[in-house]
Structure 1
Amino acid sequence: MSSIIKLEIQKKSFDKKGFSILHDFELEVQPGEKLSIIGESGVGKTSLLNIIGLLDTRYQGSYQLFDSPVQELSRNKLAEWRNQKIGFVLQESALIDSLTIEDNIKLPLMYANIEKDASAQEHFKRIVNKIGIESILKKKPLECSGGQRSRAVFARAVIMNPQIILSDEPTASLDPENKERIIDLLFEMNEEFNTTVITVTHDLDVANRHERIIKLKRSE
């Protein structure tokens, strides 16, 4: 089976002083794998997700995604893959305050010009019902609680039924009931669509429910 992700990072540098992380890091992921990433703050967990998700290309190394060398992809192709093939549940994934929760969730569908497709509408209904946000769809983000906004960000991440879902602390602001809803939906998508799930978390209960755990350590 061909790997969906094959990543080799010599290092990721941040400033002229030479601060760097992810020294000699290698990662290979198979399609449909459930992988969690743990480690103390500052070791590069979120940076790693940004690299995997094509948000950050400023690192030394090589990356093959979907059997294609990332360094050879055009800017348009990178944007297309970020919208259609990769779902992001990242801490900085802000909702647009001027749009309703429903329109925020449907943004990827609009970018792909499929928001009116029957299958897309059905998938939208399934997601919002599963994670319990039907009552806030017509509200604006600032009218919602932090937990409600977190669930809306999650819904937007999975609305395109992506091949890879990248989650950065997806349950951090949720109560136990809604935490279970999010994890259940993640793993249902993995089971039904062979979606690859990569989750950064400090919650060892969440981490242990994945098939494989990678612990990042601080560089010497």
Structure 2
Amino acid sequence: MKDNLIKLDDVSKYYLAGKQKVQILKHVSLEIDKEDFAVIMGHSGSGKSTLINILGFLDQKYEGTYDFAGKSYQKQSDNVISELRNRNIGFIFQNFKLMHNLTVKENVEIPLIYSNRDSDQNLEKDLNQLLDSLGILDKKDSYPSELSGGQQQRVAIARALINHPSIIIADEPTGALDSQNTQEVMELFETLNKTNKVTIIMVTHDDTFANFGNRLFKVNDGVLHES
């Protein structure tokens, strides 16, 4: 029996362009279960980034319903939403979004500022194990400028995983990487999904990644279809 984690029902999103109301998402419905690896594909401007902003609780202004683990949070306060997002969602971006004046260790610890783990006595051990599993423990005290692109993305992945989130949302995670680092990062995602049982939602415009997940969605002009 599948364990449903995300359910969107008839979700639409509009923006105002001057006085004109533009529809970005058109009656989107989807379900994602725990341990799914969902790939969402679409060209630039298709609506895929808007969709993941909603899935990641970065955008609460939409029509329709969004249930997370069987509960709607659409009318909850900003504080509740922020706590929910920090506890359950790990974000990975194309350009890494690392703080260049912070070390690897300090970058990975950023999400802990908003959690209750800062007093956890096992935190240092967990952090070291995480960095070791990603092959960057020896870079713990290095700065992002001293790392390769692949290593920087691994730091971003560690930062996304440090709070043990329910879901990883990866937005074009290999867009800034060469082919070798791209392959390594994608293999890492597969391991996180299959071995660590992490639910992954990956957004990409690159159809070479269509077969990496067990679910494939395509967005075109705001309309979502599962392939």
Instruction: Provide the residue aligned with 1:105 in structure 2.
Output: 108
Instruction: Provide the residue aligned with 2:218 in structure 1.
Output: 215
Higher mean C-alpha displacement, 9-18 vs 45-54:
9-18
* Structure 2 CA distance for partners of 1:169 and 1:183, relative to 1, 3 Å: same
Aligned to 1:13, the other structure's residue is in SS state: strand
Instruction: Provide the residue aligned with 2:60 in structure 1.
Output: 57
Instruction: Provide the residue aligned with 1:161 in structure 2.
Output: 164
The question of whether the paired residues in 1 share the 8 Å contact of 2:39 and 2:204 is answered with yes
Instruction: Provide the residue aligned with 2:5 in structure 1.
Output: 4
1:150 aligns with one of 153, 159, 162? 153
The question of whether the paired residues in 1 share the 8 Å contact of 2:150 and 2:185 is answered with no
Q: CA RMSD in A?
A: 2.4
Q: Aligned equivalents of 2:130 and 2:177: distance in 1?
A: 17
2:70 aligns with one of 63, 67, 92? 67
Instruction: Provide the residue aligned with 1:14 in structure 2.
Output: 15
TM-superposed CA distance for 1:135, in Å, is: 4.2
Q: TM-score by structure 1 length?
A: 0.87
Paired AA for residue 40 in structure 2: I
> For 1:163-211, what per-residue CA distance to the aligned partner results, in whole angstroms no more than 9, with x for missing partners?
1111011122223343233223322232344321110113333231100
Q: Aligned equivalents of 1:161 and 1:88: distance in 2?
A: 12
Instruction: Provide the residue aligned with 1:84 in structure 2.
Output: 87
Q: Aligned equivalents of 2:71 and 2:7: distance in 1?
A: 10
Q: Aligned equivalents of 1:90 and 1:48: distance in 2?
A: 15
Paired AA for residue 70 in structure 1: Y
Q: Aligned equivalents of 1:146 and 1:183: distance in 2?
A: 14
Instruction: Provide the residue aligned with 2:183 in structure 1.
Output: 180
Paired AA for residue 162 in structure 1: P
Gaps of 5+ in 2: none
The question of whether the paired residues in 2 share the 8 Å contact of 1:3 and 1:28 is answered with yes
The question of whether the paired residues in 2 share the 8 Å contact of 1:36 and 1:198 is answered with yes
Q: Aligned equivalents of 2:190 and 2:127: distance in 1?
A: 17
Paired AA for residue 8 in structure 1: D
The question of whether the paired residues in 2 share the 8 Å contact of 1:9 and 1:59 is answered with no
Instruction: Provide the residue aligned with 2:137 in structure 1.
Output: 134
Paired AA for residue 79 in structure 2: N
Q: Aligned equivalents of 1:56 and 1:92: distance in 2?
A: 21
The question of whether the paired residues in 2 share the 8 Å contact of 1:131 and 1:182 is answered with no
Aligned to 1:14, the other structure's residue is in SS state: strand
> For 1:17-62, what per-residue CA distance to the aligned partner results, in whole angstroms no more than 9, with x for missing partners?
2222110111111111111000111011111111100011122221
Paired AA for residue 47 in structure 2: G
The question of whether the paired residues in 1 share the 8 Å contact of 2:99 and 2:107 is answered with yes
The question of whether the paired residues in 1 share the 8 Å contact of 2:94 and 2:174 is answered with no
Gaps of 5+ in 1: none
Q: Aligned equivalents of 2:163 and 2:169: distance in 1?
A: 13
Structure with the largest fraction of strand:
2
- Report the count of equivalent residues: 220
Paired AA for residue 48 in structure 1: L
